[in-house]
Structure 1
Amino acid sequence: MTWLLLLCLWACHVSGDKRIDYSGYTVHRFQVDTSSNTMEKLESFDMELDETTKTARLLLDVWAEPSKSNPYADVLVAPEFLSKFKSMLTASELATLKLLEGDIQSQINAERHAMLRNSISRRRKRSLMKSWTDFDTNSYHSYEEMMKFMKLLGEQKSDMVEVLKVATSSEGRTIYGVKIHPPGASPPEKPSIIVDAGVHAREWIAPAVALFLIRKIVSEYGSNPRVTANLDKFDWYIVPQVNPDGYEYSRISDRLWRKTRSKNTTVNRWCMGADANRNWGYRWGEAGANRTPCSNIYMGSHPYSEPEIRGLKDFFTWQIANPMVYISLHSYGQLLLSPWGYTNERTENYQDQQSAAREAAQAIKNTTGVSYSYGTISEMMYPASGTSIDFMQHRGVPYIYGVELRPTDNPNSFAFNLPPSYIRATGDEMLAALNAIGDHAVKIKRL
C-alpha cells in the first residue's frame, strides 16, 4: 500500500474533522519565583476570544505546574503571545527560561506519522483479534479498540472479569469498566482497589497504563506471586477511559484537547467541554476553580454537570461496597498526590497516606529506577477544588492518590506525546506502586 493511500485512509478515518494546527507554538520551562504571582497571571491569559467569528484561540497553556519537589513550570505559548509571555516573567524567572520545543506541531506530526506507519498492521490485527490475548498493550488505541478488548475479556475470562457499564458520555458513548477478582464468586464486603484514567483527553499514557494493568493482572494471576496475593486480598475496579469523547477528539482533531465535549448552553457557546477533574460536587467551585467556559480548567456550569462524572460518582457510590484504595491516573509530572486539593489543611490520616505513598515511590524506584515524589495536591502543586481525590477522601476511602505519570526526568521533552515504547515500563512501575499500597493497607488495616 502506498504512502499516499495510507494518508487517504487516515483522512477518511477522521471523518472530515479539521485538525487544530499548533505550528509556531513553543514549549518553555522556567523556575518559578515563589514570591511572585506569575502563574496566576499567566493562567488568566489562556484564551483569546473572537466574538465576531465565535472562535477561541489558545494563547497559553500551563502543562506542568511547579511543585515543592520540582520548582519548574512547563508552558505552551502561541507565537503571537511569546513577547507578552516573556514580559510577564520576573527577572529571575526569565534568567532560567529554557526552550523545550521550538515547534510543538512537529512533535504532533512525528507522533501522527508513527501512527500512520503502524496503521496497516494495526488494522489487520484489529480484524483478526478473536481473543483478549491478541490485544497489544504496547500501543495507543482508539476507544472502540479498548471496548472490544474489555468485552472479549469479559466473555473469555468470565470467571475473573465482569464488564460494567459506568456511564454514558455527552456524545452517547458508553463508558465501561471492569471488575477483576479471583476465579469464582467474590464476597461483596471484600476490599477493593479502584483505578480510573483518561480524565484529561490528551494524557494518552494514562488509559494505556490502565489497560496494561487489566491485562497484566488477569494474565499473571496464579503465576506471579505479587499479582496473585494482591488479587486474593482485593477486587480491582478499573475504568480505563473516563472521557472517551475528549479522547477521540484529541486523536482526530486537537491533539492537545483536555476537557470533555459537552455543549455549553450559556455564555461563549462555541467553547465546549469542562475539566472533568474540577466537576465533582465536593467543594466544587472553591479554590482554584475557573468559571470561564473556554478555559482548560473550566469547572462546569454546576456540580456533576458532565454526565461522565455524574455516572462515575454513582458507580463509585452504589456499586463498590468497600473501597480501600483509589488511584486516578494522569500525566505528567511523576507525582503521587493525596488529598486535600481545596485546602492546605491536612487530612486526619495524612501520615498514613504519606507512609503508603513513600512505600509506593520506593517500589517504583526499585522496579524501573524512576523517581516519583509525593505529597498532597495543595502542598505539592496548587489549590484545586471539585476533584475526585477530595470526593473520595470525603467519602472515607483510606488511600487516595492522583498519579501524575511520566515524563519528568527524561532528557527529551515528550510531555503528552510520550512514545508508546514507554507504556510497558510505566505500567510495570504503576503495578508495583499499587501492590505496595495494597501491602501497606493489609498491614495497617489488618485485612
Structure 2
Amino acid sequence: MQHNEGQERSSNNFNYGAYHSLEAIYHEMDNIAADFPDLARRVKIGHSFENRPMYVLKFSTGKGVRRPAVWLNAGIHSREWISQATAIWTARKIVSDYQRDPAITSILEKMDIFLLPVANPDGYVYTQTQNRLWRKTRSRNPGSSCIGADPNRNWNASFAGKGASDNPCSEVYHGPHANSEVEVKSVVDFIQKHGNFKGFIDLHSYSQLLMYPYGYSVKKAPDAEELDKVARLAAKALASVSGTEYQVGPTCTTVYPASGSSIDWAYDNGIKFAFTFELRDTGTYGFLLPANQIIPTAEETWLGLKTIMEHVRDNLY
C-alpha cells in the first residue's frame, strides 16, 4: 500500500512510522496544537507518580462551550507501544482530515474529542529505558519491594473483584484502593468535572479484539445489543483496509474477567459508548509489534474509531 509522505511525517518531520520517546510524543502534541490553533489545544490534566505531566489534546470547534465529548485513551499499559503510536497518529489525522473528510468534520461540529496518548507516562519511560515489558505504573507499595499497580484494574468499577490481584507483585495488582494511582485519578477527576462525556474508547494491545462492558461480570450491560452492533460495524470498517479481523464481544467472555477497568467505570458512570480495542497482532510479535506495522494499524483503527464516533454523533443522549 502506498503512503504519501504527509501521512508518515508531519510538517516538523515527526516520523509516524516509528516508536518515540515520551518527550517526542509530547513535543508532537505541541506541534499539532501550534499547527491547528483553532482546532487543537494541549491540556495538562495532572501529573504521574514520578511527577511527569499528563497531557491530552482537546479537539474542538466550539469555543468555550461544554459540548458532548468522546475520550480516547491509550498507553494505560505501558508496554503496549502500538497504542501510544496509534494515538499520536490519530491526533494528526483528526486535524489533517477536518474540513476534508465529511465524517470527522461533522463529528467535530457536534462534539469534542479528548485524546490522551500516554495514560501511563512513568511506565512508558520505564519500558524505553529499563524493562520493555513493564505493564504497571511506577508507584511505591508500602510494605512491599514490588513497584506499581495495574492502572486498568484501579478504576472504581467492582474494584478488587474478579481478574485482579491484591498482591503488589502481581501484573494485575489492583492497587491499595480505587483511584489510588494518580494517573487514573487525574482522568477520573477531569471527566467528572467536565461532564457530558458520551464515549470512552481505550486502546490496548494485542489480540485484535473490540470489546464493550462488562469485564467485571458476565452480567449483560443494559445497552449490550446496541454496543455489539456498533462494535461489529466498527470491526467491519477496520477490516476493509487490509483484511485485519477483529473479534467482538463483552470483555468478560471475550478475553477474561477483569474488574476495575476504565470502560466499565465509564459505562457505570453514564458514558454509554464505552469500548476497548486490543490492536494488532494476534501473538506473532505480541507487544513487540514491528514499527513497520504502526501506520497500517493506525489507518485501519481510524476507520473503527470513526465508525463509533459517527454513531455517538447520531445518538447523543
Match of 2:307 in 1: 436
Do the aligned partners of 1:262 and 1:274 also contact (CA within 8 Å) in 2?
yes
Task: Describe the superposition over 1:222-265 as per-residue Cα deviations: whole angstroms up to 9, x where unpaired.
Answer: 12233323322331100000111111111111111111101111
The 1-side partners of 2:141 and 2:68 are apart by 39
**What are the residue-to-residue correspondences of 1:200-239 with 2, within 5 Å?**
200-239=77-116
Q: Is the 8 A contact 2:207 2:279 kept in 1?
A: yes
AA partner of residue 239 (structure 2)? K
Considering only CA atoms, is the larger Rg found in Structure 1 or Structure 2? Answer: 1
Asked if structure 2 preserves the Cα contact closer than 8 Å seen for 1:132 and 1:149, the reply is no
Give the number of equivalent residue pairs: 309
Q: Deviations over 1:72-120 (max 9, x none)?
A: xxxxxxxxxxxxxxxxxxxxxxxxxxxxxxxxxxxxxxxxxxxxxxxxx
Is the 8 Å Cα contact of residues 217 and 227 (structure 1) preserved in structure 2?
yes
The equivalent position to 1:310 in structure 2, one of 152, 163, 185, is 185
CA distance in structure 2 between the aligned counterparts of 1:133 and 1:232, rounded to whole angstroms: 28
Q: Does residue 405 of the first structure (1) align with residue 279 of the second (2)?
A: yes
Query: Which deviations, in whole Å up to 9, do the C-alpha atoms of 1:345-372 show, x marking residues without a partner?
Result: 0011110100100110110111221111
For 1:179, the equivalent position in structure 2 comes to 58
CA distance in 1, matches of 2:235, 2:185: 31
Give unmatched runs, 5+ long, in structure 1. Answer: 1-128
Report the equivalent of 2:220.
346
The two structures, once aligned, show a CA RMSD in angstroms of 1.7
Say which of 275, 294, 305 aligns to 1:423. Answer: 294
2:134 corresponds in structure 1 to 257
Indicate conservation of the 8 Å contact 2:157/2:216, yes or no. no
Q: TM (normalized to structure 2)?
A: 0.93
Q: Please report how far the alpha carbon of residue 187 of structure 1 lies from its aligned counterpart in structure 2 after TM superposition.
A: 3.1
- Percent sequence identity over matched residues? 37
Structure 2: segments with no counterpart, 5+ residues: 1-8
> Could you tell me which residue of structure 1 aligns to residue 6 of structure 2?
none
Q: 1:191 to 1:318 in 2, by over 3 A?
A: same
Does residue 165 of structure 2 align to residue 290 of structure 1?
A: yes
CA distance in 2, matches of 1:329, 1:373: 15
Give me the whole-angstrom Cα distance separating, in 1, the residues matched to 2:50 and 2:233. 40
Q: Distance in 2 between matches of 1:170 and 1:446?
A: 35
| Alignment partner, residue 4 of structure 2 | none
- Contact between 1:340 and 1:376, CA under 8 Å: does it hold in 2? yes
CA contact (8 A) 2:71 2:199 kept: yes
Q: Which of 384, 390, 395 is matched with 2:264 structurally?
A: 390
Among residues 215, 229, 234, which one is paired with 1:355 in the alignment?
A: 229
SS of the aligned residue for 2:151 comes to coil
4+ residue segments displaced more than 6 Å: none
